[in-house]
Amino acid sequence: MAIRIPVPASSTIVSRLAAIVGPEGVSVSDLDRLHYSRDMYPGTLILQSEGVRESFPDVVVWPENTEQVQQIVRFAAEQKMAVVPFGAGSGVCGGTTPVRGGIMLDMKRMSRVIEVNDDDLSVTAQPGIMGQNLENELERRGYTMGHFPSSIYCSTYGGWVATRSAGQLSSRYGKIEDMVLGCEFVTADGEIRRAPEAPGEALGPDWRQIMTGSEGTLGVLTEATCRIWPTPETRLFVAFTFPDVPAGVQAMRLVMRHGLRPAAMRLYDPLDTMMVGTKGAEEETSGVGIMDYVPLDAIGTKLRAMAPKIFRRAQRAVNRWADVGNKLEGLARQGCLMVLMFEGSDRLTRFEFDQTIRFCERLGGRNLGPEPALKWYRNRYHVSYKMIKVFYNQAFVDTIEVACSWDRVARLYKDVRDAIKTKAFIMAHFSHAYPDGCSIYFTFVGSAMNPRAAHALHQEVWRDAMDVTVRTRGTISHHHGVGLSKAEFMPRELGDGVKLLRALKNAFDPDDVMNPGKLGL
Amino acid sequence: MKRFKGNIELRHKLTDIFGPDRVREGALETLIYSHRPWTRSLLEMKAGRLPERLSFIVWPETVEEVSRLLRLANEWKVPVIPMGTGSHRRGAPAAPGGIACDMKRMKRLLSFDEDSMIVSAQAGMLIWELERTISRRGYTLGHVPPTAPSSTIGGAIATRQAGRLSARYGRIEEMIVSLQAVLPDGSIVKTRTAPRSATGPDLDHLLIGSEGALGIITRAKLRVALSPERRVFAAHAFSSFENGARALRLVVRAGLRPSGARLMDVDETRAAFRGTKTADEKCVLCLAFEGREERPGVEEEIAAEIGRKADGKALGEEPSRVTFERSYLDGFRRHHVLAETGGVADVMDFAAPWSRVGALYGAVRKALKDRAEIRTVLGHPTPNGASLSFFVTARAENGDATALFDALWADAQRAAGRGGGGVAHHFGGGAQYAARLFRRERIGRTVPAGEGRARPERDFESGPAERGERIAAGREATVSDLFTRYFKEIDYCTFCPKMCRFSCPVANVTGNETYTPWGRQTVLHLVREGHLPFNREAATAMYQCANCMLCREYCDYLVEVPPVMIAARAKAVEEKLAPHEVIEYRDFSRRKTIRTATTCGRACATWCRTRISRRTRKVVYFAGCSHLYHYPQAVQDTFRVFEAMRVDYVACHEGEAMCCGAPLRELGLEAPYKRKRGEARGGAVALQGDRVGQPAVRSRAADDLSGDGF
Ligand SMILES: Cc1cc2nc3c(=O)[nH]c(=O)nc-3n(C[C@H](O)[C@H](O)[C@H](O)COP(=O)(O)OP(=O)(O)OC[C@H]3O[C@@H](n4cnc5c(N)ncnc54)[C@H](O)[C@@H]3O)c2cc1C
Ligand SMILES: Cc1cc2nc3c(=O)[nH]c(=O)nc-3n(C[C@H](O)[C@H](O)[C@H](O)COP(=O)(O)OP(=O)(O)OC[C@H]3O[C@@H](n4cnc5c(N)ncnc54)[C@H](O)[C@@H]3O)c2cc1C
Ligand code: SF4
Ligand code: SF4
């Protein structure tokens, strides 16, 4: 079945757009429109080999400066065409799905670092710069932003701000919303706005916090200023095991509560611990764990290529993820691994490090030395590549990142796991902690006899997990955002707050031009 | 608006909601409720001009009552002004005839979750009350505005307060977990409760700082902290305000979080320490640290070290202790007294990023100094900026204090705008930051050996392993190889979240998803599965790869994109879908029976000379380590083609001197690595004029090099 790509935008529209950005900045080619029809939402990925794609943009546009963005947005409003801002498409909830077609606004040609200010410890850059390229630029000058999402290689600065992204070192540096000092955006009414208008201003509502996380539904981010830090002088590592999840969670809580700020503090549940391994040595599982256990994976490519369809079916038949999970649960006896990393100025870092070790030891943690933590650090981006193998082998993997206050963490963890574990293999780690609570990051792997059934199973897992989370009064997303896939849960997430969100949308974008269908709007 | 005053029907309606005891309309009360401790309104009162009265005052006790009030107000189109204690320093919203909604009877502590350190209280509770209650259990809100005894939680939030301890505990908005509020239409909303969330904009921020204009806050959940066990104080004197500001900036930059931080200029120093030795110093910086166990002491020692290095003179703890233990209300009382005697006094505060603090200080002082006495304090520092408070006192020559007041404010605000408070700090400067190869001005970062990115294992049985073979494979790729031999490569990229895309120069230059490794391979995947035709468009995409192999460096599975692209190009040529130059070149090379790789490059150069336009272009050619290593011949060929096309090029990788040696270190060969690195440094000097910034190689090398202060 060939993918049917609908007719593109008319030539009048293309020439109007070309008049704004030049002919090089517009494309209606089928391939381009195909590539902009999905982000990294696993729901779409499950159906990838079936050739299923639902929505396509009418045209892809690459603006080069704020004024061009403004003109495009004005043009779109006039035509009542949807505008979907696009970073790098690494979003995992369908945030860039062009549900109503329209203009796909790829920001990546706006990728300049505008200023690095040493006095203010701030960086101002355009939104289209790739995360790692921005961090490289900062690192070269002796700074760090401290924002290291696992997707740093494949996501943009603007995408981070638009989705309230969290990096792996958030316990020390905060989430992106804690870093944003200022931003410039073009709202749907075609105005260029800056927040704050004057730096440091504290009058009225904080528009930065409104734009941050708005996922392109209120406007297009065209520039952002974030705080940065001098490159840390010291980095220290240590790891512990705790007998069970509640004990580990307790330790995390006490560390945060006492004002200690490890750069990274990650607690793995027993299954995840088993996957990661508590040894430091490289020849151990190196964090691959279960995802490398794939039936029939060893079959050569040649064989696969000869009869791909039959092979896939065979592989689906032997994929039994929920069973594997349940069997392994009984075997997971290593307890819970916690890895810790501290960084910053020499003396203070060492001080916090020593104090944290004392805390953990007092709470029954077994000190494993630095090796397992170093191993985590070396492998910190590898997890992002794991999904490839899982999908390649006809299963699916997805992650659910919820958060709640400490009093409910243990319950939320247990309830979500209980709800899912009969359907898929599910494990979790706790990786973003705050004095008042933390996030739980579930990873689940599943499969079914055919892609359609897998898709249905995937949906079912999400629905159950979201249901439990809302009931336990956690938030349904700690850092991936809402996009399209979680839109249906927003009324329950926000309650009457939906009204405020609606009011915002109506104020900026009454015609629903900006990224329609997202955030439940 | 007058029509609401004494309106019997409105009074009845209000009484229906609140009962007779909680509705008042007495002349004195409504007048008092219209007044605020705003200098301007003091001056006006002094001159005999009274503010216009409100019509009613009500005291809700539940959120439902607030909701009913707002519904009623909507019906009647009567303004409602939420009130805490009315300590708002910048005046009340002008709403004569409106209803004051006094929140102070909604003052209960609702819950206190000590595990999560979250306290939930009604908006009318006094900050002070809250602090007293939780401190008995060993906690602190850490929010101490000068008016703490007389400001409510709701008022603090509605005005986005910053307390005296903000450098340590944050501003009030940083303490908010969630809010409950009644919107102007009477509906009750509650924002989500979570330590952090990514489900859309942070709606709390619509209410924070809204000064009652967007709704009435009825309840807040706030984060608290553990009570400090000890406090330490320290004062330092500096020769100038600038030096003091620099020292304070360095203190927060080092990650220290003083609970108190106050830098006084000469005038403030003299006034604040009148009668003591300290008054003779120039600018005094007072710092306080608090916390548990040894921490405050450690922080103070680090700060002292910074102070010393910034030419500060240590004054011991006394001046600082005195400063922080004194009530700020003293100053305010002085202002009142002054107003009584026909003067004008006020505090003007402006926030600025550090880079503008000096300019702001100068500009505001310059604008006012002829007419007023000004003392200045720098406070509320964060690593990114601070606030300047100007204590301004003046005497009206002609007796019109209000006019003087207005003029001073207007001038100060204008000056602040000029001085940096109002200028956005976003100047362009791309050229200034043109990349310089391998120039790193960092020192002293210690990175444990081998801490960088772990080396992935190649996951392919299909790809050629040896260097020589690799080139051959690229050249000899055939169409049939495309889908069988590269089956896995194609699928892996398709299912990949584009992990290598940031390194791909083609992806970076075009910004196009189709031209990422992921994009091109996805095309092939869909073609293979029969979902897409392999047409001219698809073929064209296959040419959008420079074969540089940078992507491989960031692929955990060491997928090699170029061989796949080369095979796909072969298919494109075979099906006559390739760009016409390519087809022509093929025919040309067939005529010449070119077989080997070496002759191929030479032939290509010959051909280019005849075919391609001779415009001169300046190009910096950076082959990339991987390319140089895996396809050295291709690099040589590129040089030939450049020459044939008369391209004016600079190559960063001529010879092997430019290899930074990072791979050697990864192999654990420390000595050869150091040697290589030395050579590279020499090479970098030679290349300084060129703009080369290849991120991938640099970051690869970065972890290794930084340890030695390279
Ligand atoms: C393997 C993998 C690992 C990940 N790890 C993390 C992680 O550790 N932490 C984390 O927080 N997230 C993670 N994510 C999720 C994802 O990377 C983030 O959501 C990221 O911020 C999205 O950035 P992007 O540039 O790819 O945005 P896109 O996916 O292109 O867009 C995301 C949303 O933002 C909007 N948007 C993008 N740019 C703009 C703009 N300039 N103006 C207005 N709206 C805009 C889009 O319309 C869309 O709604 C991961 C994803 C993957 C695939
Ligand atoms: C001597 C002095 C020094 C000061 N120093 C500082 C300082 O250092 N830092 C600082 O930040 N402030 C300072 N202030 C300002 C003052 O403390 C704040 O304005 C205070 O937060 C107001 O609190 P309140 O309860 O008195 O509110 P009010 O003055 O009653 O109200 C303030 C505003 O908030 C609105 N409001 C009140 N309650 C609610 C509610 N529940 N829902 C919605 N809106 C509401 C009101 O309508 C009004 O617009 C100072 C004031 C004085 C008099
Ligand atoms: S080369 Fe590797 S990292 Fe790049 S897209 Fe393919 S699988 Fe992903
Ligand atoms: S070889 Fe170079 S140009 Fe080709 S896909 Fe990889 S990084 Fe991009």
pLDDT of residue B441: 24
Contact criterion met (CB < 8 Å) for A166 and B440: no
What's the mean pLDDT when you consider all of chain A? 91
Cis peptide before A196 (omega within 30 of 0): yes
Q: Which two tokens stand for residue B78?
A: 């009567």
| Rounded distance between C-alpha atoms, residue B485 and residue B460, angstroms | 10
- Measured from the alpha carbon of residue B146, the closest ligand is 2
Nearest to A130 by CA among B681, B391, B161, B507: B507
Q: Percent of chain A having pLDDT more than 90? A: 76
Q: Give the mean model confidence (pLDDT) for residues A298-320.
A: 79
More confident residue, B702 or A264: A264
B493 Cβ closer than 6 Å to some ligand 3 atom: yes
Contact criterion met (CB < 8 Å) for A209 and B531: no
Q: Which residue has the tokens 């599943």?
A: A446
Q: Which residues of B touch A227 (CB under 8 A)?
A: 383-384
Query: Counting atoms of ligand 4 from 1, which one is nearest the CA of B507?
Result: 8
Query: Counting atoms of ligand 3 from 1, which one is nearest the CA of B496?
Result: 8
Asked if B150 and B85 count as a contact pair (C-beta separation under 8 A), the reply is yes
Q: Give the mean model confidence (pLDDT) for residues B700-705.
A: 40
| Alpha helix (H) residue ranges in A128-244 | 131-140, 157-163, 170-173, 176-179, 207-211
A113-117 vs A180-187, strand pairing mode: unpaired
Contact criterion met (CB < 8 Å) for B426 and A182: yes
What's the mean pLDDT when you consider all of chain B? 78
pLDDT of residue B37: 59
Please tell me the distance in Å from A170's CA to the nearest CA on chain B: 11
Q: Give the mean model confidence (pLDDT) for residues B192-201.
A: 92
Contact criterion met (CB < 8 Å) for B699 and A201: no
B189 Cβ closer than 6 Å to some ligand 3 atom: no
- Best of A53, A130, A480 to substitute, by most chain B Cβ atoms within 10 angstroms, is A130
| Rounded distance between C-alpha atoms, residue B391 and residue B408, angstroms | 12
Q: Which residues of A touch B355 (CB under 8 A)?
A: 117, 119-120
Please tell me the distance in Å from B569's CA to the nearest CA on chain A: 17
| DSSP symbols for A122-145 | EEEE-TTSBHHHHHHHHHHTTEE-
Q: Which residues of B touch A434 (CB under 8 A)?
A: 195-196
pLDDT of residue A324: 79
**Closest-CA residue in chain B for A225?**
B426
Q: How confident is the model at residue B652 (pLDDT cuts 50, 70, 90)?
A: low
Ramachandran area for residue B102 (φ above 0: left; ψ -120 to 50: alpha; else beta)? beta
Contact criterion met (CB < 8 Å) for A348 and B302: yes
Asked if A265 and A360 count as a contact pair (C-beta separation under 8 A), the reply is no
Query: Counting atoms of ligand 1 from 1, which one is nearest the CA of A160?
Result: 21
Q: How confident is the model at residue B458 (pLDDT cuts 50, 70, 90)?
A: low
Ramachandran area for residue B403 (φ above 0: left; ψ -120 to 50: alpha; else beta)? alpha
- Measured from the alpha carbon of residue B79, the closest ligand is 2
| Residue B480 three-state SS | helix
More confident residue, B91 or A499: A499
Rounded distance from Cα B173 to ligand 2 centre (Å): 14
More confident residue, B551 or B246: B246
pLDDT of residue B125: 94
Q: Give the mean model confidence (pLDDT) for residues A38-44.
A: 94
Which residues sit with their C-beta closer than 6 Å to ligand 2?
B 37, 81-89, 93, 103, 123, 145-147, 151-152, 154-156, 158-159, 161-162, 211-212, 216-217, 329, 332
Q: Which residues of A touch B354 (CB under 8 A)?
A: 119-121
pLDDT of residue B705: 38
Q: Which residue has the tokens 């001005």?
A: B441
| Residue B709 three-state SS | coil
pLDDT of residue B645: 73
Please state the three-class secondary structure of A449-487 as a single string.
CCHHHHHHHHHHHHHHHHHHHHHCCCECCCCCCCCCCCH
Q: Give the mean model confidence (pLDDT) for residues A350-369.
A: 94
Contact criterion met (CB < 8 Å) for A214 and B200: yes
> Is the pLDDT assigned to residue A94 strictly greater than 50?
yes
Q: How confident is the model at residue A104 (pLDDT cuts 50, 70, 90)?
A: very high
**Closest-CA residue in chain B for A175?**
B196
Asked if B453 and B665 count as a contact pair (C-beta separation under 8 A), the reply is no
pLDDT in tens, A143-179: 999 999 999 999 999 999 999 999 999 999 999 999 9
pLDDT of residue B678: 66
| Rounded distance between C-alpha atoms, residue A112 and residue B189, angstroms | 41
Candidate of B62, B65, B67, B87 to mutate for ligand 2, largest count of ligand atoms within 8 Å of Cβ: B87
- Best of B256, B309, B481, B499 to substitute, by most chain A Cβ atoms within 10 angstroms, is B499
Q: Using N-to-C axis directions, what is the helix angle for B295-309 and B241-253, rounded to 10°?
A: 140
Length of chain A: 521
- Work out the angle at residue B172's Cα, subtended by the Cα atoms of residues B40 and A345, and round it to the nearest 5 degrees: 125
By Cβ distance, the residue of A209, A374, A497 closest to B192 is A497
> Is the pLDDT assigned to residue A307 strictly greater than 90?
no
pLDDT of residue B679: 65
Q: Give the mean model confidence (pLDDT) for residues B347-371.
A: 90
Nearest to B622 by CA among B508, B534, B514, B526: B508
Q: Which two tokens stand for residue B630?
A: 């895996």
pLDDT in tens, B49-78: 777 778 898 999 999 999 999 999 999 889
Q: Give the mean model confidence (pLDDT) for residues B230-245.
A: 95
pLDDT of residue B470: 47
Q: Which two tokens stand for residue B214?
A: 């967007």
Rounded distance from Cα B191 to ligand 2 centre (Å): 22
Q: How many CB atoms lie within 10 A of CB A134?
A: 24
pLDDT in tens, B380-390: 999 999 999 99
By Cβ distance, the residue of B417, B492, B531 closest to A1 is B531
Q: Percent of chain B having pLDDT more than 70? A: 72
Q: Which residues of A touch B180 (CB under 8 A)?
A: none
| Rounded distance between C-alpha atoms, residue B664 and residue B12, angstroms | 87
Q: Report the Cα–Cα distance between both ends of chain A, in Å, rounded.
A: 33
Can you tell me the ipTM of this complex?
0.90
pLDDT in tens, B160-183: 888 889 999 999 999 999 999 999
More confident residue, B465 or B86: B86
| Residue B84 three-state SS | coil
**Closest-CA residue in chain B for A193?**
B424
**Closest-CA residue in chain B for A470?**
B192
Rounded distance from Cα B150 to ligand 2 centre (Å): 9
| Rounded distance between C-alpha atoms, residue B217 and residue A202, angstroms | 18
| Residue B476 three-state SS | helix
Query: Counting atoms of ligand 4 from 1, which one is nearest the CA of B565?
Result: 4
Q: Which residue owns the Cα nearest ligand 2 atom 21? A: B156
Please tell me the distance in Å from B609's CA to the nearest CA on chain A: 28
Q: Give the mean model confidence (pLDDT) for residues A474-480.
A: 97
More confident residue, B337 or A151: A151
